[in-house]
Structure 1
Amino acid sequence: MRIMKPTRHLLLALCPMVVLGFLYYSSGRLHPWGWGHKSQKDLDSFFSVGRLFHSVYDKQGFLLKLDGNLPLELMYKYGNLSEGVCKPGYAAAKMTAIYPKFTKPAPMFLDPNFRRFTKISKFFPPFGMKMQEKIIDNILTATKSFGLEDELDSLSCKKCIIMGNGAILTNKSMGARIDEYNVIARLNEAPVSGYEKDVGSRTTMRITYPEGAIQKTERYEQDSLFVLSAFKALDFKWLRSMIFKERLRNTDGFWKSVARHVPREPSEMRILNPYFIQEAAFRFIGLPHNKGQMGRGNIPTLGTVAITMALHNCDEVAVAGFGYDMSTPHAPLHYYEKIRMAAIKQSWTHNISKEKEFLIKLVKAGVIQDLTHGICGSGC
């Protein structure tokens, strides 16, 4: 027995090294025929778990080597499906393949049991709903509906498209293709009427905040959900006023004029789960935490928040109208107005460059499909 102990100890010591070697080989950094040509720096990294992990994933936890190819296990699951057939769980599966920390369960909208979500209960708006529980209860008691329409909720596979408002949509004639999606999410006041050829004619939901909401009631589509993405406590009070048709007496605290009436019944109004703002900001993009408070450069754009929502709730996710080309400051920012690209630089809440890095990862890995190719142009 005494003779066997050193052998046992040696095997125990070698096992972790063998595992690390296999992982390192799998990462593509080491090849069986290249041992003798590795630098001392590479050899040192082999024996460092931290360096090994860093060689495979970036600091946010995303796989460094991204391409649109399906991992072997997904190829078996989705490879034989006919083109155009909805692929159940596809977006979440591809997201998990490049970001192992991704967990899917996160409902689109708050429901009466929202207190069960500890990830949002500890944060103030926009990253949570701390201190807003009573007014949210009040709102949800009135709306009585907490999902999509029954027909959409019952689908076994949902194809969703998030419509950005970029001028890149102009003259693309993608309206018919956009209308083929099950769920079409539009942002803020981006109009549909008069632009159907390029942006489609259907709207499932319009996600907005008070300052971004359509102010002319005649511009609202007839059949769509009105979804509040709350960025401050005042936004919930505004929504309550819209639901109960109360006169909006005081607009102090809003950074520009807001809608005073939303032509929707309470059953057609929703509150977007604030977890998507939190996850997009701190986990996916890596924006400053600022002790969980809104601060300079730590708020994701509404488009990225909507994409994050779709990754959790849709089987396939596409986008159109995304992509800011900051090298053309005089180009139009949106497809429906004359504001120039330079205007985005004036925003103190967003970090457009870091956000673009995140979206490029999703496009490169095929997690989302960019119909207008504005996120990374020819670089993906």
Structure 2
Amino acid sequence: MSCDSHWRILLLFMLGTFSVAVVWYLRAEPYMPVPYMIAEDDRVVCLQGDVERKAVLLIENYTRDHPAFLQMSDYFWEKNQSDYQLPYGTKGSEDILLKILAITTRYDLPISRQSRPCWRCVVVGNGHRLKNSSLGDVINKYDIVMRLNNAPVHKYENDVGNKTTMRLFYPESADFDPHLQNNPNSLMVLVPFKTPDLQWLKAILNNEKRFRKGFWKMPPLIWDVKPENIRILNPYFMEVTAAKLLNVSIKPPRKDKEKPTTGLLAITFALHLCDVVHIAGFGYPESTNKKQTIHYYEQITLKSMADSDHNVSHEAQAIRKLLEAKIIRNLTHF
């Protein structure tokens, strides 16, 4: 046998051994992060209205003819007529909303269509797939960076970046330092799930007696955020997310208590606001994986969501449809 033949046999053996090792590794550790899809940054082609045109094909009766945030004019001159109560409408909450909106300023974004007519947005989820991703610099290059709840930025900048255009939250998830985890001009966007959420915000803004009832976890009693940095998300987006992406009934009496997560809601909101929508850090471990953490910043597992009103597998299907239709793009493995 020639020397070349020996080398060929040795090479084939080494390749075969490597392939077996890779297969074994993936089977043994199926939830380890796979290579990340790095965005093209500034080279991403941004076509104004591109996401809007695609969303119409998937979401029935999709329209952008709705304000992003609630405005005082909706309740001052003529009360906004809503068919649903919170979280899908403002029926019965008009009076308290008027008092809150009188303190906060009118809708204004840190970025304008005049300065940049085409908006590239990324919705940064809280998932464990962001850990060790080194996506920080990529995330910082988007025009609008949306973050969720109490997900930290400080000490995680290399993986999640440090730019925050807006942060969607609810009172129970406001247990963070707004100055440490946000930029000075970041918008804090309240997602009101229930009337006590509005009562909490009103008490914070007016330094009134705090409400302690009606929360599944006590929200902060002191919360140092300027009124001009606070917005209230239009419940229309919660309605669209539940009724059109999750096909959940929102008409009373509601037998199904399933509610969208803040993450899926943020994606729906981004479809309304942006021309390019990318996501990062979305997705949960398989239900059989009891040890994998669900967040990049804390050691909790899927067990913590057992009593929640969220259906993570249902939401995963909705996100996959958006990905398959190329309405959104994922920067991390989903």
User: Normalising by the residue count of structure 1, what TM-score does the alignment of the two structures yield?
Assistant: 0.71
Whether the 8 Å CA contact 2:125–2:282 is kept in 1: the answer is: yes
Whether the 8 Å CA contact 2:82–2:89 is kept in 1: the answer is: yes
Q: For residue 284 of structure 2, what is the aligned residue in structure 1?
A: 324
- Structure 1 letter corresponding to 2:191: S
CA-to-aligned-CA distance 1:221-274 (integer Å, 9 cap, x gap): 2421111000001111111122223342x3111111201222211111000011
Q: For residue 75 of structure 1, what is the aligned residue in structure 2?
A: none
Q: For residue 360 of structure 1, what is the aligned residue in structure 2?
A: 320
Q: For residue 148 of structure 2, what is the aligned residue in structure 1?
A: 187
SS of equivalent residue, structure 1 residue 305? helix
**2:207 aligns with one of 234, 245, 261:** 245
Deviation at 1:369, TM superposition (A): 0.7
Whether the 8 Å CA contact 1:289–1:298 is kept in 2: the answer is: no
Q: For residue 106 of structure 1, what is the aligned residue in structure 2?
A: 66
Deviation at 1:290, TM superposition (A): 5.2
Whether the 8 Å CA contact 1:220–1:263 is kept in 2: the answer is: no
Deviation at 1:308, TM superposition (A): 0.7
Q: For residue 234 of structure 1, what is the aligned residue in structure 2?
A: 196
Greater per-residue helix proportion: 1
SS of equivalent residue, structure 1 residue 95? helix
Q: For residue 14 of structure 2, what is the aligned residue in structure 1?
A: none
| Identity within the alignment, % | 37
Q: For residue 263 of structure 2, what is the aligned residue in structure 1?
A: 303
* Match runs of 1:1-380 below 5 Å: 83-99=43-59, 101-114=61-74, 121-149=82-110, 151=112, 154-216=115-177, 219-223=180-184, 224-248=186-210, 250-289=211-250, 291=252, 296-326=256-286, 327-347=288-308, 349-374=309-334
SS of equivalent residue, structure 1 residue 143? coil
Whether the 8 Å CA contact 1:164–1:319 is kept in 2: the answer is: yes
Whether the 8 Å CA contact 2:88–2:250 is kept in 1: the answer is: no
Whether the 8 Å CA contact 2:67–2:234 is kept in 1: the answer is: yes
Deviation at 1:181, TM superposition (A): 0.7
CA distance in 2, matches of 1:287, 1:258: 28
> Which region of structure 1 is more displaced relative to structure 2, 102-111 or 199-208?
102-111
Q: For residue 22 of structure 1, what is the aligned residue in structure 2?
A: none
Deviation at 1:113, TM superposition (A): 3.0
Q: Could you say which structure has the larger radius of gyration?
A: 1
Deviation at 1:143, TM superposition (A): 0.8
Deviation at 1:96, TM superposition (A): 1.6
User: Normalising by the residue count of structure 2, what TM-score does the alignment of the two structures yield?
Assistant: 0.81
CA distance in 2, matches of 1:103, 1:97: 11
RMSD: 2.1
Alignment gaps of 5+ in structure 1:
1-81, 375-380
CA distance in 2, matches of 1:153, 1:187: 27
Say if 1:144 and 1:99 are closer, same or farther in 2 by CA, change over 3 A: closer
> Which region of structure 1 is more displaced relative to structure 2, 363-372 or 140-149?
140-149
Alignment gaps of 5+ in structure 2:
1-41
CA distance in 1, matches of 2:244, 2:130: 29
CA distance in 1, matches of 2:116, 2:253: 36
CA distance in 1, matches of 2:120, 2:285: 27
> Structure with the greater relative contact order (CA < 8 A, sep ≥ 6): 1 or 2?
2
Stretches (4+) displaced over 6 A: none
